[in-house]
């Protein structure tokens, strides 16, 4: 891992481990550009893939180096990008680039701000220690500022990871470079800065932007990825002398290569054999391509860690999702945000979950859910909708066509069919009948339903909240429960049933139903089941219609009894 030496101290001469690389003095993330080709109201670096913005990917990779300072340069949509950066890392230094364009200017603004921060820290330390440092030789009394390695990376390289940055930093120190550049080779290098190497040594003599390159230089396939390590002093001196005499009239960071070499520093490149890893996003095509590649890599990592992914092509897992061994993801599964799945659970097919915690051995089938917890061995779906605040206990069940929200369903309790459970607490081992609804909203406020443990509620119940059903209570099917049901009681709330004999033959004569009823009555051997009123109506009807169903003027057959 990365050494955690205090500021300015290199661990190399104290620690024998040769692979130990000192933490960088600073990482600078460039995020001031507009990203015109995205054609978006959202700044480019705030477009997301794998559930993280590109800025999030850059800052996550940067954070893995444990830099002393992390600076993010902003300008376009400044407020949005600055807020996002501070949200990702409250300790980040947000630096405003001025109106002078170019990556060189962006880094210059960052270095000035970082130097100022270092000076402020030193001044505070000196004030405390009472050490007066009178400097007469024209140098800054508090020293140069940032000292050591400064890592610079563009904010639009989403697949770049901390391991690659660490490798670049290690190479920078191992070779004693002034500048180390991460490069790769592309079949089509159009648009990129080309790496010009010295024959023999292989050192980098220049980076030439596509627009400034000669025809011969455009043949070069090795490109600048916009990821670098600079020695702070070399960078500071180089940036001080940069102009903008080039095809784009911008201050190019890449011109620091020439100044570093001019003062005798070594400029070397680390060639990555993984172009996708260092590829930048300029438009939405690249966003989709790299998004799919990121997903492919994420799934590959989980499969190597013991997760079964039946169909990687239709399975999407965000970068921050955590999966345990022996999890099975069935086709059409999308796991987003901070979703976690414990060992042996099966998710899918066709399930989309965001910030959901799934317990060991649970099954979640054809479900859409967010901000919910699914207990160990629980079962959800098919066709369930878990809204925020759903907590399903161990071996609980949320079944088919069930919607839940802000609902605690205890261990072993079941809501199997066609129900809505919202703003509710259900105890353990209770069963909620099919087609039940917690009626939680009175048009103004939301109210709670509380159902105890070992309760058995009937099908088609409405629980008009606030209402409580006690432990071990039953409710009758079709009940509208508006009053509390005490523990162990049966709650019934429905009209008495009455049967009107002969109604069908009387009011719907000639229909298949009436004929079926008549056949049953005949088979029973008498017509006593027909009530006198029904007999009279039936006789009148038959007299009027010649004992046959009537035919309307327009020819449509209908049972025109005249009754509604």
Task: Establish whether 440 is an annotated binding residue.
Answer: yes
Q: Measure the CA–CA gap between 549 and 560, rounded to whole angstroms.
A: 8
**Residue 73: which of Ca ion, ligand UD1, none does it interact with, CB under 5 to 8 A by kind?**
ligand UD1
**Residue 235: which of Ca ion, ligand UD1, none does it interact with, CB under 5 to 8 A by kind?**
none
- Catalytic residue check, 417: yes
Tell me how far CA of residue 418 lies from CA of 106, 315, 334, in angstroms.
58, 28, 24
Catalytic residue among 417, 447, 454, 541: 417
Instruction: Tell me how far, at minimum, the Cβ of 109 lies from ligand UD1, in Å.
Output: 9
Structure tokens at 452: 């105890």
Structure tokens at 5: 């030496």
Residue 223 found at the interface with ligand UD1 (CB under 6 A) = yes
Q: Which residues contact 389 (CB under 8 A, 6 or more apart)?
A: 371, 372, 405, 406, 407
Residue 207 found at the interface with ligand UD1 (CB under 6 A) = yes
Instruction: Tell me how far, at minimum, the Cβ of 465 lies from ligand UD1, in Å.
Output: 52
Neighbours of 266 (CB within 10 A): 17
First-to-last C-alpha distance (Å) of the chain: 82
Q: Measure the CA–CA gap between 478 and 496, rounded to whole angstroms.
A: 12
Pairing of strands 204-208, 93-96: unpaired
Give the binding-site size for Ca ion (rule: CB under 5 A).
Answer: 1
Q: What x-and-dash track marks residues 91-110 binding ligand UD1 by CB under 6 A?
A: ------x---xxx-xx----
Instruction: Tell me how far, at minimum, the Cβ of 349 lies from ligand UD1, in Å.
Output: 39
Task: Establish whether 209 is an annotated binding residue.
Answer: yes
Query: Judged by CB under 6 A, which stretch of 8-16, 223-231, 307-315, 491-499 contacts ligand UD1?
Result: 223-231
Query: Judged by CB under 6 A, which stretch of 16-24, 122-130, 149-157, 488-496 contacts ligand UD1?
Result: 149-157
Helices 54-63, 78-88: crossing angle, 10 deg rounding = 40
Alpha-carbon dihedral angle through residues 53, 59, 269, 114, given to the nearest 10 degrees = 130
Q: Nearest residue by C-beta to Ca ion?
A: 280
Output 24 or 43, the one with its CB closest to ligand UD1.
43
Instruction: Tell me how far, at minimum, the Cβ of 65 lies from ligand UD1, in Å.
Output: 18
Structure tokens at 506: 């009387």
Residue 280 found at the interface with Ca ion (CB under 5 A) = yes
Residue 78 phi, psi (nearest 5): -50, -45
Q: Measure the CA–CA gap between 250 and 97, rounded to whole angstroms.
A: 13
Query: Judged by CB under 6 A, which stretch of 113-121, 221-229, 365-373, 547-555 contacts ligand UD1?
Result: 221-229
Q: Measure the CA–CA gap between 244 and 15, rounded to whole angstroms.
A: 43
Output 106 or 402, the one with its CB closest to Ca ion.
106
**Residue 253: which of Ca ion, ligand UD1, none does it interact with, CB under 5 to 8 A by kind?**
ligand UD1
**Residue 469: which of ligand UD1, Ca ion, none does it interact with, CB under 5 to 8 A by kind?**
none
Point out which residues bind Ca ion (CB under 5 A). Answer: 280
Active site residues: 417
């Amino acid at each position: 891992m990365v050494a955690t030496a205090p500021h300015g101290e290199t661990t190399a001469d104290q620690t024998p481990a040769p692979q130990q690389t000192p933490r960088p003095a600073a990482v600078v993330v460039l995020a001031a550009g507009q990203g015109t080709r995205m054609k978006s109201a959202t700044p480019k670096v705030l477009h997301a893939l794998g559930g993280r913005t590109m800025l999030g990917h850059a800052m996550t990779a940067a954070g893995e180096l444990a830099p002393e300072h992390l600076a993010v340069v902003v300008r376009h949509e400044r407020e949005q990008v600055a807020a996002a950066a501070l949200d990702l890392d409250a300790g980040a230094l947000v630096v405003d680039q001025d109106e002078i364009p170019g990556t060189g200017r962006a880094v210059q603004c960052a270095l000035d701000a970082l130097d100022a921060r270092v000076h402020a820290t030193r001044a505070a330390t000196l004030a405390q220690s009472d050490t007066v440092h009178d400097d007469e030789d024209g140098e800054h009394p508090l020293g140069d500022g940032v000292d050591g390695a400064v890592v610079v990376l563009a904010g639009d390289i989403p697949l770049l990871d901390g391991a690659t940055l660490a490798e670049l930093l290690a190479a920078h120190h191992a070779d004693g470079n002034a500048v180390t550049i991460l490069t790769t080779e592309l079949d089509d290098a159009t648009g990129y800065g080309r790496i010009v190497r010295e024959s023999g040594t292989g050192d980098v003599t220049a980076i030439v932007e596509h627009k400034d390159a000669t025809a011969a230089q455009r043949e070069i396939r090795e490109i600048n990825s916009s990821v670098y390590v600079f020695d702070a002093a070399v960078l500071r001196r180089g940036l001080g002398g940069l102009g903008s005499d080039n095809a784009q009239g911008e201050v190019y960071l890449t011109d620091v290569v020439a100044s570093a070499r001019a003062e005798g520093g070594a400029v070397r490149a680390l060639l990555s054999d993984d172009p996708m890893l260092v590829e930048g996003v300029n438009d939405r095509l690249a966003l989709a391509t790299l998004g799919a590649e990121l997903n492919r890599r994420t799934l590959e990592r989980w499969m190597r860690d013991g997760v079964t992914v039946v169909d990687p092509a239709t399975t999407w897992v965000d970068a921050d999702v955590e999966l345990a061994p022996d999890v099975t993801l069935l086709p059409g599964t999308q796991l987003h945000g901070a979703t976690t799945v414990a060992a042996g659970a099966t998710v899918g097919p066709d399930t989309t979950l965001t910030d959901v915690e799934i317990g060991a051995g649970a099954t979640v089938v054809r479900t859409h859910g967010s901000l919910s917890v699914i207990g160990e061995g629980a079962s959800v779906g098919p066709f369930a909708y878990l809204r925020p605040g759903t907590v399903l206990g161990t071996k609980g069940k949320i079944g088919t066509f069930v919607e839940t929200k802000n609902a605690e369903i205890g261990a072993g309790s079941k809501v199997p069919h066609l129900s809505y459970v919202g703003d509710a607490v259900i105890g353990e081992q209770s069963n909620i009948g099919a087609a039940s609804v917690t009626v939680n909203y009175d048009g103004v406020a939301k109210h709670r339903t509380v159902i105890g443990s070992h309760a058995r509620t009937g099908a088609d119940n409405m629980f008009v909240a606030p209402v409580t059903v006690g432990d071990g209570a039953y409710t009758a099917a079709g009940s509208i429960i508006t009053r509390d049901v005490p523990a162990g009681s049966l709650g019934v709330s429905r009209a008495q049933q009455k049967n009107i004999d002969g109604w069908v033959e009387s009011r719907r004569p000639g229909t298949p139903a009436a004929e079926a009823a008549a056949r049953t009555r005949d088979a029973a051997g008498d017509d006593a089941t027909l009530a006198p009123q029904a007999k009279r109506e039936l006789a009148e009807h038959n007299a009027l219609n010649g004992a046959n169903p009537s035919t309307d003027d327009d020819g449509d057959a209908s049972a025109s009894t005249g009754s509604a």
